[in-house]
């Protein structure tokens, strides 16, 4: 078998090994070198929206993802929460992911401590943020919250009645919040668009995995006022916030992994074309 | 009667939901909220039904010693243990040490590992699928390359790639996606009408 035929039909195990090696190398070099990140309009618009809110304003942050996409979506959840705490914007948290409740609760707890350390502020549960927990059937929950949060969430994650939380005073439905930011890895994103944005017309922004991001670009400027796509989007937000963390450190691995995939696509196509040409000449 | 009552209920409730969506009167709010309450009640019941079904399927597998029945033991153990840790009086509920540990040290790594493997499969699939075999395949290949590179920082090339990707996403992608969404929407309306008018009755079961 000549080399071009081998290139066209490369054993996938070589791709796995090569990808593993370069990503591992990039991981170990993450603190040594960094990749400059340019910000995009869709990420800037979310940043500017939150930056423009007044202290005491409230937003709904729905972290609708499960542990499978934790690595990709945690950095954007962290960045948005830090930004809100920096601006004294209050955050009503929730999740529509059945595996997400415990994980999301931990995100809120960790970022609270981090915000207190970085900004020297006291971030109190019930005052600056709250976590409503998880409810099944996303479409109905989204519709229900449009009428009254208390239909589906009479109590928060810790079993405290919503009316006992100062942050929830005078919050009945989406009209009492400045915007809804959804960090999403599943199908609930479509429901937020159809049942949330289309019916209740609240300002809506998404943070989604890199794979999902192209699906939601068509909604930008209409149903969505901003979109954070994958690690790159999270790295942009971190840069805007001047809190470069996991997403920025991971950019090197992201770049080399993508370049490796592109390299293999090029190798495959060269092998395919040359071997096909030789076959034609042979015929 | 057995069929007429559910069909009537579906017709009345769905007609109300359609009308209240287009004619939002304040007087209808309580009916809408009442129906939302019912979705929650039905949802909880279906959760119990799901658990019963899971229990039945796996206990049968164990009884019959079907292929890989050992995994059924693990599934049922997980179900029972998490119920005990979460619901047992005095266990602390969601704050229970074991409940949290099972989630953080078993569930989280398992799911994260599964998703991480995706990167390797995507690399392998991209290598095999993106071949410029025809004009359409070449277009797909070029679009995929631009979009792929759009989601990584490319230094000075980033603005150019971002513009090219933006055009792909906002023009051809938007056109195709809207066509699909409109098609799906019309299909959903047709199906909903069939259910509402009692033409589609498969949800009633066979009896």
Q: Does A17 lie in the same domain as A104? A: no
**A 148-207 residues with CB < 8 A to B:** 148, 151-152, 157, 199
Pair A175, A150: CB distance under 8 Å: no
A-chain residues near B170 (CB < 8 A): 217-218, 220
Q: Looking at residue A111, what is its pLDDT? A: 95
Q: Number of folded domains in chain B?
A: 2
Name the closest residue on chain A to residue B24, using Cα atoms.
A199
Widest distance between CA atoms in chain A: 82
A36 in reach of chain B (CB within 8 A): yes
Q: Does A194 lie in the same domain as A267? A: no
| B129-143: average pLDDT | 91
A15 in reach of chain B (CB within 8 A): yes
Of A15, A37, A215, the CB nearest to B124: A15
Domain that holds residue B103: 69-116
DSSP output for B69-94: THHHHHHHHHHHHHHHHHHSTTS-GG
Q: Looking at residue B108, what is its pLDDT? A: 86
Q: Does A266 lie in the same domain as A184? A: no
Q: Does position B39 have pLDDT exceeding 60, yes or no?
A: yes
Let me know if residue A120 belongs to a domain: yes
Q: Which two tokens stand for residue A187?
A: 């199908």
Domain that holds residue A108: 41-249
For residues B46 and B183, the model is more confident at B183
Q: Does B61 lie in the same domain as B74? A: no
Let me know if residue B89 belongs to a domain: yes
Q: Does B74 lie in the same domain as B51? A: no
Q: Does A277 lie in the same domain as A146? A: no
Let me know if residue B110 belongs to a domain: yes
Let me know if residue B139 belongs to a domain: no
B-chain residues near A157 (CB < 8 A): 94
Q: Looking at residue A184, what is its pLDDT? A: 94
**B 10-39 residues with CB < 8 A to A:** 21, 29, 32-33, 36-37, 39
Pairing between strand A129-134 and A90-95?
parallel
Let me know if residue B181 belongs to a domain: no
Q: Does B77 lie in the same domain as B49? A: no
CATH at residue A171? 3.40.50
Q: Does B92 lie in the same domain as B60? A: no
Let me know if residue A36 belongs to a domain: no
Let me know if residue B47 belongs to a domain: yes
Let me know if residue A35 belongs to a domain: no
Q: Walk along chain A (283 residues) and give the pLDDT tens digit of each residue.
A: 688 888 888 888 999 999 999 999 988 888 777 788 889 899 999 999 999 999 999 999 999 998 888 889 999 999 999 999 999 999 999 999 988 888 898 899 999 999 999 999 899 999 999 999 998 889 889 988 998 999 889 999 988 999 999 999 999 999 999 999 999 998 899 999 988 998 899 999 999 998 899 889 888 888 999 999 999 999 999 999 998 888 988 888 888 999 899 999 999 999 988 888 777 776 6
Q: Does B53 lie in the same domain as B17? A: yes
Let me know if residue B83 belongs to a domain: yes
B148 to A162, A254, B19, B198: CA distances (angstroms): 44, 11, 44, 47
Question: Does A143 sit within 8 Å of B36, measured CB to CB?
Answer: yes
Residue B14 — very low, low, confident or very high, per pLDDT cuts 50/70/90? very high
Q: Does position B207 have pLDDT exceeding 70, yes or no?
A: no
Name the closest residue on chain B to residue A42, using Cα atoms.
B166
Let me know if residue B183 belongs to a domain: no
Q: Which residues pair with A94 in a beta bridge?
A: A62
Residue B163 — very low, low, confident or very high, per pLDDT cuts 50/70/90? confident
Among A254, A274, A282, A193, CA closest to A19: A254
Q: Does B61 lie in the same domain as B4? A: yes
Q: How many Å lie between the alpha carbon of A143 and the closest alpha carbon of chain B?
A: 8
A93 to A74, A120, A125: CA distances (angstroms): 14, 22, 11
Domain boundary among B29, B51, B66: B66
Let me know if residue A59 belongs to a domain: yes
Pairing between strand A90-95 and A58-64?
parallel
Q: H helices of chain A, where?
A: 3-8, 12-28, 41-51, 70-86, 100-119, 138-147, 149-152, 188-191, 198-200, 213-216, 230-241, 246-249, 251-282
Q: Does A228 lie in the same domain as A169? A: yes
Q: Does position B191 have pLDDT exceeding 90, yes or no?
A: yes
Q: Does A192 lie in the same domain as A213? A: yes
DSSP output for A230-279: HHHHHHHHHHHHT---HHHHTHHHHHHHHHHHHHHHHHHHHHHHHHHHHH
CA atoms within 13 A on the CB side of A89: 26
What ipTM was assigned to the predicted interfaces of this complex? 0.78
The alpha carbon torsion through A81, A85, A90, A96 (nearest 10 deg) reads 10
Q: Does B35 lie in the same domain as B78? A: no
Q: Does A209 lie in the same domain as A260? A: no
Q: Which residues pair with A184 in a beta bridge?
A: A64, A208
Let me know if residue B184 belongs to a domain: no
Q: In this structure, which long-range contacts are made by residues A152-155, counting pairs with CB atoms below 8 Å and at least 24 apart in sequence?
A: A152/B36, A152/B40, A153/A94
Q: Which residues pair with B45 in a beta bridge?
A: none
Question: Does A19 sit within 8 Å of B33, measured CB to CB?
Answer: no
Q: Does B56 lie in the same domain as B16? A: yes
Let me know if residue A137 belongs to a domain: yes
In three state form, how does the secondary structure of B92-113 look? Answer: CHHHCHHHHHHHHHHHHHHHHH
Among B198, B147, B122, CA closest to A229: B147
Residue B146 CB neighbour total at 10 angstroms: 19
Q: Does position B101 have pLDDT exceeding 60, yes or no?
A: yes
Q: How many helices and strands in chain B, by DSSP H and E?
A: 8, 0
Q: Does A101 lie in the same domain as A11? A: no
Q: Does B112 lie in the same domain as B90? A: yes
DSSP for residue A93: E
Residue A29 has phi, psi (to 5 degrees) of -95, 5
Q: Does B90 lie in the same domain as B75? A: yes
Q: Looking at residue B103, what is its pLDDT? A: 85
Q: Does B60 lie in the same domain as B13? A: yes
Among A258, A232, A257, CA closest to A247: A232
Q: Does B100 lie in the same domain as B48? A: no
Q: Looking at residue B206, what is its pLDDT? A: 67
Q: H helices of A120-203, where?
A: 138-147, 149-152, 188-191, 198-200
Q: Does A277 lie in the same domain as A151? A: no
Q: Number of folded domains in chain A?
A: 2
Residue B152 CB neighbour total at 10 angstroms: 25
Let me know if residue A208 belongs to a domain: yes
Question: Does A19 sit within 8 Å of B114, measured CB to CB?
Answer: no
Q: Does A268 lie in the same domain as A137? A: no
Q: Does A138 lie in the same domain as A24? A: no
């Amino acid at each position: 078998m000549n080399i071009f035929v081998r290139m066209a039909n490369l054993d996938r195990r070589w791709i796995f090994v090569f990808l593993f090696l370069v990503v591992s190398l990039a991981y170990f070099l993450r603190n040594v070198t960094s990749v400059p990140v340019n910000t995009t309009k869709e990420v800037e618009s979310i940043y500017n929206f939150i930056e423009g809110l007044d202290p005491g304003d409230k937003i709904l942050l729905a972290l609708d993802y499960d542990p499978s996409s934790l690595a990709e979506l945690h950095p954007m959840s962290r960045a948005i929460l830090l930004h809100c705490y920096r601006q004294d914007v209050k955050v009503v948290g929730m999740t529509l992911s059945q595996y997400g409740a415990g994980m999301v609760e931990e995100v809120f707890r960790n970022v609270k401590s981090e915000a207190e350390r970085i900004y020297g502020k006291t971030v109190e549960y019930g005052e600056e943020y709250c976590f409503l927990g998880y409810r099944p059937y996303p479409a109905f929950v989204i519709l229900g919250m449009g009428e009254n949060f208390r239909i589906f969430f009479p109590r928060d994650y810790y079993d405290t009645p919503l009316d006992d939380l100062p942050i929830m005073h005078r919050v009945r439905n989406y009209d009492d919040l400045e915007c809804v930011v959804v960090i999403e890895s599943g199908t609930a994103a479509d429901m937020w668009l159809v049942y949330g944005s289309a019916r209740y017309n609240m300002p809506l922004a998404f943070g989604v995995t890199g794979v999902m991001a192209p699906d939601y670009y068509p909604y930008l400027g209409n149903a969505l006022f901003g979109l954070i796509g994958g690690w790159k989007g999270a790295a942009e937000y971190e840069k805007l916030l001047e809190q470069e963390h996991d997403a920025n450190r991971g950019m090197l691995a992201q770049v080399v992994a993508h370049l490796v995939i592109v390299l293999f696509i090029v190798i495959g196509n060269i092998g395919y074309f040359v071997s096909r040409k030789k076959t034609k000449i042979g015929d | 009667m057995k069929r007429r009552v559910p069909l009537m209920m579906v017709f009345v409730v769905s007609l109300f939901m359609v009308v209240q969506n287009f004619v939002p009167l304040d007087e209808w709010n309580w009916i809408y909220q009442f129906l939302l309450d019912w979705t929650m009640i039905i949802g909880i019941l279906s959760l119990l039904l799901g658990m019963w079904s899971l229990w039945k399927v796996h206990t049968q597998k164990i009884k019959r010693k079907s292929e890989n029945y050992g995994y059924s033991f693990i599934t049922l153990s997980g179900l029972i243990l998490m119920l005990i840790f979460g619901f047992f009086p005095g266990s602390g509920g969601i704050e229970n040490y074991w409940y949290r540990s099972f989630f953080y040290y078993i569930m989280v790594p398992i799911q994260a590992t599964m998703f991480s493997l995706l990167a390797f499969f995507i690399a392998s699939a991209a290598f095999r699928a993106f071949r410029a075999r025809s004009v359409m395949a070449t277009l797909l290949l070029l679009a995929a390359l631009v979009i792929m590179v759009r989601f990584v920082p490319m230094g000075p090339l980033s603005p150019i790639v971002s513009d090219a990707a933006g055009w792909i996403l906002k023009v051809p992608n938007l056109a195709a996606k809207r066509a699909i969404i409109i098609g799906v929407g019309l299909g959903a309306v047709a199906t909903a009408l069939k259910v509402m008018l009692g033409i589609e009755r498969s949800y009633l079961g066979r009896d």
